[in-house]
Chains A and B, each alone.
Chain A
């Protein structure tokens, strides 16, 4: 049925379009078939290695054998889907939507568009200048810049695969919340004069690119391209992360982390945020380890705060942004976003007892 729906909408659906859609459907079905066999597969691995499943080594091996293919497959699916969705958006279109928007609604819109707009940290500076010089309010621009890297498909895909969809959705919701509120506060502080001077002096006319004519096939290709680029880059980190996670699963005593990362240790939330700042992104390597922490007694709010801090407050990104922001403005940015993440950690630990 979905196949008909897609072909009906495509105006120039030639034979090759049908072929592409057909193969995509076949690939998705094959994905589902393989995915449903993962438990038997890991059982088979366990049986053939002849390790006692209840031993330390057995727990570690079974975690590794089941989670590695599962997470890589879920991540591939999420990245593919996101690649297709993102082909409908561009930073220029997003900027046109945000220009002249009032704060409040502008922050909500910017944070939401941050999830679906293609964004690479190497073009953070051109994007920042492009937004601000074209009349997007500073706070609204920040909402976009906070949400775009934090609520990304790798983090969502991995959380979905390792910890479950509820936590993935919670991360999405709280991530958006932090981006919206932090951007709104930065906007209310009226810090435009804390931008580097040359940035303030740029007056450019925002251009709107002529709409690129993308066919359904182009969009499917965009999804495949995203998988090649993103999954192709992060898979070694994921495997390394799962290996460390597997070791923790098998060898670390169950309640070891409860005292340091548990709900009762209030100081663990700020500690998690501070430790997270110098650790650069690699959501890919960190999430599998963090998942193992949860099973060993770490509180979920503390863990979420840690992940958000690692991903949203990264030193390399601050160094890049230093080109356009004064140190004072960067300090405000870190302070506001860090406080937001702290609040998420405490709130979450308090709500989900």
Chain B
């Protein structure tokens, strides 16, 4: 079970990003737990400066803008 956190204050892109993660994980058959982190202090704690950010198993893999589907697949498969 991969622990995925989507960092973002709740804007439209953050919601879309969380949906993309779930869709891509379902496609790959990777079990994931997607959690949205909306608290500004918590987001800042991950050291990013733009949202949405993606953290997989504690490691920041993406910050700023929508991720590309092929990148998501790569991160989830790793």
Contact = CB atoms under 8 A, between A and B. Distances in A.
B50 A123 contact: yes
A118 B50 CA distance: 9
Contacts of B48: 92, 126, 130, 207
B57 to A, nearest CB: 15
Nearest to B10: A122
Contact of B11 (A122, A129, A324): A122
Nearest to B50: A91
A129 B64 contact: no
Tell me which of A120, A130, A323, A324 has the highest count of chain B C-beta atoms within 10 A of its own C-beta: A130
Contact of B40 (A94, A120, A129): A129
Contacts of B43: 126, 129
Nearest to A136: B49
B45 A204 contact: yes
A91 B64 CA distance: 8
B67 to A, nearest CB: 10
Nearest to B43: A126
A127 B41 contact: no
A324 B41 CA distance: 10
Interface in B8-56: 8-9, 11, 13, 40-41, 43-51
Given A92-B64, A133-B44, A209-B63, A126 B49 contact: yes
Nearest to B42: A202
A142 interface: no
A90 B40 contact: no
B9 A90 contact: no
Contacts of A198: 41
A204 B65 CA distance: 21
Given A90-B63, A323-B40, A122 B51 contact: yes
Contacts of B51: 122-123, 126
Contact of A125 (B9, B45, B47): B9
A134 interface: yes
A131 interface: yes
B60 interface: yes
A126 B13 CA distance: 14
Contacts of A91: 49-50, 63-64
A118 B65 contact: yes
Nearest to B44: A129
Given A90-B64, A126-B9, A204 B46 contact: yes
A206 interface: yes
B43 to A, nearest CB: 5
A130 B47 contact: yes
Given A202-B41, A202-B44, A127 B49 contact: yes
A14 to B, nearest CB: 16
A129, A131, A134, A205 interface centre (most CB from chain B within 10 Å): A129
A249 interface: no
Contacts of A92: 48-50, 63-64
Nearest to A214: B68
A204 B50 contact: no
Contact of A90 (B44, B47, B50): B50
Nearest to A205: B47
Nearest to B47: A207
12 contacts: A91-B50, A92-B48, A92-B64, A122-B9, A123-B9, A126-B48, A126-B51, A127-B49, A129-B44, A204-B44, A206-B49, A207-B60
Given A125-B9, A204-B47, 11 more contacts: A94-B49, A118-B50, A120-B11, A123-B50, A126-B8, A126-B44, A127-B49, A127-B50, A129-B40, A130-B44, A324-B40
Interface of B: 7-9, 11, 13, 40-41, 43-51, 60, 62-65
Interface of A: 90-92, 94-95, 118-120, 122-123, 125-127, 129-131, 133-134, 198, 202, 204-207, 209, 323-324
Closest 9 A-B residue pairs measured CB to CB? A130-B49, A207-B47, A122-B11, A91-B50, A91-B49, A129-B44, A123-B51, A204-B47, A126-B51
